[in-house]
Structure 1
Amino acid sequence: MNAPSYCAASAMPGLVQHVTTSLDVGGAQAMLVKLVEAGVAKRKCARPAVLSLMRPGTLAPRLRDTGCPTYTLGMSRGIPGPVATLRLLRITAMLRPDILQGWMYHGNLAASVAGLAAGRKVPVFWNVRHSLADPSVEKRSSRALFALSARLSRSADGIIYNSRTAAKEHAAIGFDPSRAIHIPNGFDLSRYRPDPSARSRLRMVFGLPDEGILVGMIARNHPMKDHAMLVRGIARARSAGHDLRLLLVGPGMGGPDTALRQAIATCLPPEAVTLADERTDVAEWLPGLDLLALSSAWGEAFPNVLGEAMACGVPCIATDVGDSAWVLGEGGLIVPPRDAEAMGAALERLAALDGNARRGLGAAGRARAIAHFDINDIAVQYRRLYASAVQRITRDAAPASASALASDAGVRQA
């Protein structure tokens, strides 16, 4: 195999060890897998290895298909205990990484601990994928984790945020703002793309009738997603005479909680809503949606599903949480969180458009995804950041600021 010419540069990291909380379906986990896949597909030099604190989940086979070594501490939940920590240190000492990259709060802290096993200076980067507009809505254990992470944030060489809003919110609770680096999510634009045949495929997969405007929301069953708000918004738009049908897909959606079931039963007739559990074939039918809606009340930084829908040319409506407004640009509409009336009004507005007008809105979203969120471009930003960190280590032993690393790599500081 012929390596790219820049591989000969001594600054290029030989191995990047990613430390993630889990490999279940989720935004952070999906981005990690896409980053590894993009690097392998382009035959770039830095070899990846992934260590999951929890047992391997749904996304682990995709990593194995790339040839990326995967390891696990076999944990269930929480911060690693003595046995798991010892295993973390042993795996890191065996791998001898040139870069340690954490993913999510537990993974970030574990990456910092893993750095202790290196026996030499190894740059440690954190990756934060969550927004904190109102920390009080978070669980007590989560707030304690945020506080611990804030105290230790100066130990990281850089903190990568996929959302500029999240970077500001974390700085407000004590995360070191000088470590902040902004790299948005990226998407495989050859996999997520407009597909006229996807409409019939979607209707067949979920057993849906041909009539009606199909609105989809792809998200796990969790209070932060506020599915009930979308249900009420759909009901309002239907009461205005628009034949909207709702498709809710995601982990736990096959058997939603009592509150959501009651909201659905109260607001919508049975034929107007379809529920389905987590699926791995989203790219095959997502382009068949007429509209994509995301009703999250809090927590989103850069929702992956928005980028995926935009790449597929599907118009979107999202709540103004995290960077959603910046992500969508001209590719959709933004409404306040927890506001079913505003969601209903936005649904009415897009439902009233003819097919050509909706397709034009979707095309604007696709163009924005191409311009800003191509996974190959995002992977280059990560590689340049890592190379910059290794170069500074080899040049002198003094720790570099995140702004200096970002500047050297041509990456935006948050």
Structure 2
Amino acid sequence: MKIILFTENYYRGGLDTFTATLINAWPDQDDEFTLLSNREYSGADVVRARLRRACSFVTYDFVTYAGLGHITRKNRILNALRLAASPLLRYLFLAHEVIVLRKLFSELQGDRLLIINGGYPGGDACRAAGIAWGFLPDKPCSIHNFHSLATSSRFYTKAQENAVDAMLVKKTKVFVTVSKAAATSMSVRKAIPEDKVTFVYNGLERSEHPSLTAGGADVRRDFALNKDALLCLMLATYHPHKGHTFLLKAFRRVSDAIPQAHFLVCGYGNEEEIAAVQREVDGLGLDGKVHLLGFRSDAMELLAQSDVLMVGSQEFESFGLTCVEAMARRVPVVATRVGGLPEVVVDGEGGFCTERNDVDSYAAHVINLLRDEKLRKEQGEKGFSRYLQHFTAQRMALEYAELLKSE
């Protein structure tokens, strides 16, 4: 069976991990994969580097509405004109995408289509792909996978959006996302019925979480920390909704209670975003205790050496893959009750969850874990058991295969 994976994506990130993991863990070795993506998708190189089985890579070159946005944002006047025309222009682009993709799908001669969308509505080309596939004769309906919380349409595009959603529903077998919270968020799209939406938890491959290797990064050595330093880690982009301010306030309390504690912050961010977090660090008097590292290719090595993973998301968190990465390495997690995070981090089963504005409770959980080595190890083992039960790549891939192949 030839399976086409379709995406429209302009960034590197979790979708790359998901795509590579899904292909690697796919249960049927006889199936063939083709990844069809926009030319600007830089994450395709990440997927290619991580694959352990064959996959064809095909790009489409037509300009999408989102692609046009990436171009016009460089010019304020052009961008203003694009936005003013969007109630009509966007849907003219979408109609064109349907026509072009129908022809492309016919040429590729795939047997099944799985659309990988960053969110919903996400990339319009992803919606166009589902509609285009549905116009091909003798093809089973596609699966539409989305990874972030669904968002409602603006009042001036509601009629157009409802029409597109209704058309896509007719051509789609099921909309599948990464958590119950994300599935529930689809209720804001009134044309998509509840019984058309389900979820499959993301999974990780066992080979993705080795223990610290000889000659690899040594955090305490690299930052000239004492051997008894206790390490808290944050793995997230430097976007405000990830909760840097909240976590720094909590860590201020942790540092007061445990002087040997240090906080490492890793993730993508531009100079302005990182500088804003640095000002927070300085304002709280945490210089020397908080280390802003930016993106690290060896982030999993750092995680393996950390004592606690701190996740402070304040909104827009559909799942929380870093929590699973920590559980797979027996590192306890303290997270906020936002979006899908409570589905991953269950109190006492690998970590703890607090309300997103409860700095004192959050800090108390971190302090308890750092002070009590027995508790840390106990929660680490429970988290690992939870990972094996719910979040393996094999379990995820099997559920997608069943959805895709069932008639």
Shorter chain as denominator, the TM-score bin is: 0.7 to 0.9
Distance 1:282 1:141 in 2: 43
Q: How has the CA–CA distance of structure 1 residues 212 and 205 changed in structure 2, closer, same or farther, with 3 Å as cutoff?
A: closer
Seen in structure 2, the aligned counterparts of structure 1 residues 321 and 148 have a Cα distance that, compared at 3 Å, is farther
Q: Secondary structure at the match of 1:238?
A: helix
- What is the match of residue 273 of structure 2? 256
Question: Partner letter of residue 88 of structure 1?
Answer: L
SS of 2:143 mapped into structure 1: strand
CA 1:81–1:157: 2 relative to 1, 3 Å:
closer
State the Cα distance separating 1:72 from its structure 2 match.
Answer: 2.7
Corresponding residue SS for 2:262: strand
**Distance in 1 (alpha carbons) for counterparts of 2:156 and 2:327:** 35
User: Which residue of 328, 331, 348 maps to 2:350?
Assistant: 331
Gaps of 5+ in 1: 1-13, 393-414
Match of 1:100 among 104, 113, 124: 113
- Taking the aligned partners of 2:264 and 2:361, their CA distance within structure 1 comes to 20
What SS does the corresponding residue of 2:318 show, helix, strand or coil? coil
For 2:144, which of 123, 126, 129 is the aligned residue? 126
Match runs of 1:237-316 below 5 Å: 237-252=254-269, 256-316=273-333
Secondary structure at 1:190's aligned position in 2?
Answer: helix
Offset at residue 100 of structure 1 (A): 1.6
Aligned partners of 1:93 and 1:19: how far apart in 2? 14
Structure 2 vs 1, CA of residues 247 and 255 (structure 1 numbering), >3 Å: closer, same or farther?
farther
Q: Deviations over 1:125-154 (max 9, x none)?
A: 11122236xx69x99999999867754552
Kindly tell me the number of residue pairs found equivalent between the two proteins.
Answer: 369
Q: Give the RMSD, CA atoms, in angstroms.
A: 3.3
**Alignment equivalent of 2:179, drawn from 163, 173, 185:** 163
**CA distance in structure 2 between the aligned counterparts of 1:117 and 1:48, rounded to whole angstroms:** 21
1:56 counterpart letter in structure 2: Y
Match for 2:255: what amino acid? R
Structure 1 window deviating more from structure 2 (91-100 vs 112-121): it is 112-121
AA at the equivalent of 1:291:
V
TM-score, normalised to structure 1, is 0.78
2:387 alignment partner in structure 1? 369
Alignment correspondent of 2:84: none
For 2:280 and 2:154, locate their aligned partners in 1 and report how far apart those are by CA, in whole Å. 24
| Residue of structure 2 in register with 1:344 after alignment | 363
| Residues 103 and 142 of structure 1, relative CA distance in 2, 3 Å threshold | farther
Structure 1 residue aligned with 2:73: none
Greater length-normalized contact order (CA 8 Å, ≥ 6 residues apart) = 1
Match of 1:209 among 195, 203, 225: 225
Deviations 1:190-223 (A, max 9, x none): 3225x26589734179535244221111111222
Q: Aligned AA for 2:22?
A: L
Residue type of the partner of 1:28? L
Tell me the equivalent position of 2:86: none
Whether contact under 8 Å (1:108, 1:127) holds in the other structure is no
> What is the CA distance between 1:363 and its match in structure 2?
1.0
TM-superposed CA distance for 1:179, in Å, is 0.7
Letter in 2 for 1:37: N
1:182 Cα deviation (Å)? 2.1
- The structure 2 residue matched to 1:52, chosen from 11, 27, 37, is 37
Moved more, 210-219 or 303-312: 210-219
* Residues 93-138 of structure 1, C-alpha deviations (whole Å, 9 max, x = no match): 2212222211223164133133156344332111122236xx69x9
Amino acid at match of 1:101: L
Amino acid at match of 2:353: I
Q: Tell me the residue number matched to 1:233.
A: 250
**Contact 2:306–2:331 (CA under 8 A) maintained in structure 1:** yes
- TM superposition shift of 1:318: 0.9
Q: Percent identity?
A: 22
Would the alpha carbon gap of residues 302 and 112 (structure 1) be closer, same or farther in structure 2, given more than 3 Å must change? same
The TM-score with structure 2 as length reference comes to 0.79
Letter in 1 for 2:305: G
Does 2:34 align with 1:15?
Answer: no
Structure 2 residue identity aligned to 1:161: T
Q: Find 2:128's aligned residue among 92, 110, 113.
A: 110
- Alignment-mate amino acid for residue 32 of structure 1: T
Distance 1:224 1:212, change over 3 A: same
Alignment of 1:154 onto 2:169 = yes
Match of 1:10 in 2: none
The answer for the alignment partner of 1:400 in structure 2 is: none
- Kept in 1, the 8 Å contact 2:216–2:301? The answer is no
Aligned to 1:3: none
Supply the distance in 2 between the matched residues of 1:142 and 1:370 (Cα, whole angstroms): 44
* Counterparts of 1:226 and 1:148, CA distance in 2: 36
